[in-house]
């Protein structure tokens, strides 16, 4: 594994599998009465979040603390960035204090890559603009692999599985990372969205990364082994991407009626936060096949695995 985790491009299929195997061991920690491992004792990790977050920030904090690292959370509102300090000066100031790792979330695509050029400590991309969110993609694939592997992270469990990723693909960094990670693990991805929310140039991109596209959710659903619903990111929209929330739900929401058309046992994923009643109904979010809370649990395990491999002194996975 490279020194940083900035993109799914930074890890091979074999390295992803090793991360999963470590995560499976870390997952067991969540069931212990005392949830602590000494692996990162004496290490300091900074979570530098320039965007609001609940799941990602909390899971990175828990992951670091369960590995016995000292974890410090910084946000833009509570840092000198709110006074006009540049990103470069902020990260250089923080790392000059002797920290061992930096987890960064930023609204600008490419921010994590740029930070990695400025500092001499491992950097983990916790989401940068509309670019990538590698640990989210890893936890999604890990959740699916455990589901299809009957609770284990069996190699090849995703081979040939058809996974639909549905929703606001234009603004989704989760989609961009998941396409890469699922392909590396042998899954077949079909991206479903209205034309206005399908990324520009998706045709050439689909050919390069080997995924299919569709504008018809009802046609796709009966053929999939798993479905991932993505949040409609209204905060990133400046125009009319669809006529109304009602129209979007009718065309692309995982409604109660569509839920009935899914084959039994098909896992339903959502990276959160969910807009219940828009892209996913309450029935679907809370259905027997929903693995949304499994994703949350997996997020801690995967982030423990990533921090362990980057900061525990190993040269390779």
Annotated binding site for L-aspartate: 83, 173, 231
Binding positions: 55-56, 83, 105, 133, 136, 173, 231, 272-273
Residues within the annotated binding site for carbamoyl phosphate? 55-56, 105, 133, 136, 272-273
Beta bridge partners of 189: 163
CA distance 214 to 251: 12
Query: In terms of Cα–Cα distance, which of 269, 313, 296 is closest to 63?
Result: 296
Helix (H, G, I), strand (E, B) or coil at 165: strand
Helix (H, G, I), strand (E, B) or coil at 225: coil
The DSSP result for 67-115, as a single string, is TT-EEEEEEGGGSGGGGT--HHHHHHHHHTT--SEEEEEESSTTHHHHH
Residue 263: DSSP 8-state: P
Three-class DSSP category at 117: helix
* Bridge partners (DSSP) listed for residue 236: none
Strands 70-75, 44-49: pairing is parallel
Q: Which residues touch 101 (CB under 8 Å, ≥6 apart)?
A: 43, 44, 45, 46, 69, 121, 122, 123, 124, 307, 310, 311
Whole-number Å distance between alpha carbons of 288 and 267: 9
Per DSSP, 51 falls in state S
């Amino acid at each position: 594994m490279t020194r940083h985790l900035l993109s799914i491009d930074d890890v091979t299929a074999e390295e992803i599998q090793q991360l999963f195997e470590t995560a499976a061991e870390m997952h067991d920690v969540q069931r212990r009465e005392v949830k602590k491992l000494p692996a990162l004792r004496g290490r300091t990790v900074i979570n530098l979040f320039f965007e609001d977050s609940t799941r990602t920030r909390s899971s990175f904090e828990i992951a670091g603390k369960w590995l016995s690292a000292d974890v410090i959370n910084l946000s833009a509102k509570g840092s000198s960035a709110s006074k006009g300090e540049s990103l470069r000066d902020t990260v250089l100031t923080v790392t000059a204090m002797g920290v061992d790792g930096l987890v960064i979330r930023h609204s600008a695509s490419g921010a994590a890559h740029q930070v990695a050029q400025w500092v001499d400590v491992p950097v983990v991309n916790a989401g940068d603009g509309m670019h990538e969110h590698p640990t989210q993609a890893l936890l999604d694939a890990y959740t699916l692999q455990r589901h299809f592997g009957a609770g284990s992270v069996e190699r090849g469990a995703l081979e040939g599985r058809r996974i639909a990723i549905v929703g606001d693909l234009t603004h989704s960094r989760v989609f961009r990372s998941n396409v890469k990670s699922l392909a590396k693990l042998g899954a077949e991805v079909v991206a479903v969205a209205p034309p206005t929310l399908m990324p520009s140039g998706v045709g050439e991109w689909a050919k390069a990364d080997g995924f299919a596209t569709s504008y018809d959710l009802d046609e796709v659903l009966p053929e999939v082994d798993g479905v991932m619903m993505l949040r409609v990111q209204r905060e990133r929209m400046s125009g009319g991407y669809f006529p109304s929330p009602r129209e979007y739900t009718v065309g692309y929401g995982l409604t109660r009626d569509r839920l009935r058309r899914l084959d039994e046992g098909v896992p339903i994923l959502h990276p959160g936060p969910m807009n219940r009643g828009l892209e996913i109904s309450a029935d679907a979010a809370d259905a027997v096949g929903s693995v949304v809370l499994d994703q949350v649990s997996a997020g801690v395990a995967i982030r423990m695995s990533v921090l362990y491999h980057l900061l525990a002194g190993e040269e390779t996975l």
